[in-house]
Structure formats: structure tokens, C-alpha cells
Amino acid sequence: MDQEIGHRLKEIRTRLGMSQRQLARVSGVANATISQIEAGRLNPTVSMLKKVLDGFPISLSEFFADEGEQADRIFFRAGELTEIADGGVSFLQVGANLRNKAVQLIKECYQPGAGTGKHAITHDGEECGIILRGRLQVTVGEQTAILRPGDAYYFKSNQPHNFRNPGNEPCELISACSPPSF
């Protein structure tokens, strides 16, 4: 997926008429980092990719959207969910093209030790989730908690936040974001 992410990033940047240096300046991400991502030599964390995309601005959901998906589609089989992350973190989103939608629903899985990255994430809207399996460390602003199966969270997502699996087994959860701004 590294090559695919890099190709998509370069395609969007080029289509918008931005140089790597311009994107670096507006996103706050080093030009060399953007170059490595585009070349497929660096697999960005979720928070890093989100930070780069904020320079356009474009959400992770829009970045991975399949333009050909029907807007009025109702049912999605397990293998048809859209992956919007990579590495030790999996975000399987219901639907690909969320333009004009009110909710973003994601099945998340964090491998042991994996997380959204060292940079906190912020975006518009509200976010909530419920842990199904494993443990998840959730930090929102200055507050941190380790959540276990059945535990949940709900916060305004314009607050800096990040997630990490501190356990030794995968952590699975279902989360929602409204509007779909992640």
C-alpha cells in the first residue's frame, strides 16, 4: 500500500498545482518526508498522513475514496469495506465515497504496540467508539485512559487526540465520526 499512498498523494498534489515544498510549508511536514512518501519509501503513520492531507485540505476518507462508488449504496460485504490506514493499524470504513454523508463508521484494529502516531490528530466534528477486544490507550487533550472491552469514548474531535494499543493482543473497536471529517 506504500506505493499506492505515494501515488495518490502525488496525483492530488499535482492536480492542485502544488509543489512538494508548498505542501511541506502549508502542512508543517518536511519536504523530504513528503518526497519519501510519494516515492513509496516511507509508510506514513495515520497521524502523519492526516497532517500532510490537512495541507490540501482533504480528509483520509476522501483520500481513499473510490470515485466510482454509488452514492445510494446500502449494503457492504466484509470484503468491500474501504481500508483507510496502513501498517499496524487497520481502519475499515463503511463506504468509500462519504461526500454528502453525515456519519463515518469504522471498524478499527490496532496490532500490539501500534497507534495513530506521535502527532495528535484533530478534525471537525465528534467521535465515539466502543472497544470490542483488547485494550486501547486513548488520549484526548490532557486526559488519558486505557479502555477494555465494553468501555467507550465520546469527544469533540477538534481536541488533539491519539490512540495506541498498549497490550500484547490486537485491539478491535467500532468507531463513528460525525460529520465524516477524518
In a domain, 31, yes or no: yes
Residue type, 38: E
CATH code of residue 140: 2.60.120.10
In a domain, 66, yes or no: no
In a domain, 11, yes or no: yes
103, pLDDT greater than 70: yes
Q: List, in order, residues 6 or more apart from 37 with CB less than 8 Å away.
A: 5, 6, 9, 44, 49, 52
Tell me, yes or no, whether 88 and 138 share the same domain: yes
In a domain, 24, yes or no: yes
88 vs 129: CA distance, rounded Å = 19
In a domain, 50, yes or no: no
In a domain, 48, yes or no: no
Tell me, yes or no, whether 12 and 86 share the same domain: no
CATH code of residue 12: 1.10.260.40
> What is the tens place of the pLDDT at every residue in 64-93?
776 555 567 889 999 988 888 777 899 999
Three-class SS state of 136: strand
Cell numbers placing 4: 499506492
Tell me, yes or no, whether 105 and 167 share the same domain: yes
Tell me, yes or no, whether 37 and 86 share the same domain: no
Torsion of CA 84, 86, 92, 93, to 10 degrees: -10
Q: List, in order, residues 6 or more apart from 91 with CB less than 8 Å away.
A: 46, 60, 83, 84, 85, 106, 107, 108
Number of Cβ within 10 Å of residue 140's Cβ equals: 19
54 vs 85: CA distance, rounded Å = 16
Closest alpha carbon to 107 in 126, 133, 125:
133
**Per-residue pLDDT, 136:** 98
> What is the tens place of the pLDDT at every residue in 118-162?
889 999 999 999 999 999 999 999 999 999 999 999 999 999 999
Q: Quote the number of domains for the chain.
A: 2
Tell me, yes or no, whether 103 and 164 share the same domain: yes
Residues shown for the chain: 182
Tell me, yes or no, whether 82 and 36 share the same domain: no
Cell numbers placing 142: 490532557
In a domain, 171, yes or no: yes
Tell me, yes or no, whether 25 and 106 share the same domain: no
pTM: 0.75
Tell me, yes or no, whether 39 and 82 share the same domain: no
Q: What is the DSSP string of 50-108?
A: HHHHTTTT--HHHHT--TTS-TT-----GGGSEE---TTEEEEES-S--TT-S-EEEEE
Domain residues for the domain of 17 are 2-43
Tell me, yes or no, whether 29 and 109 share the same domain: no
Tell me, yes or no, whether 92 and 164 share the same domain: yes
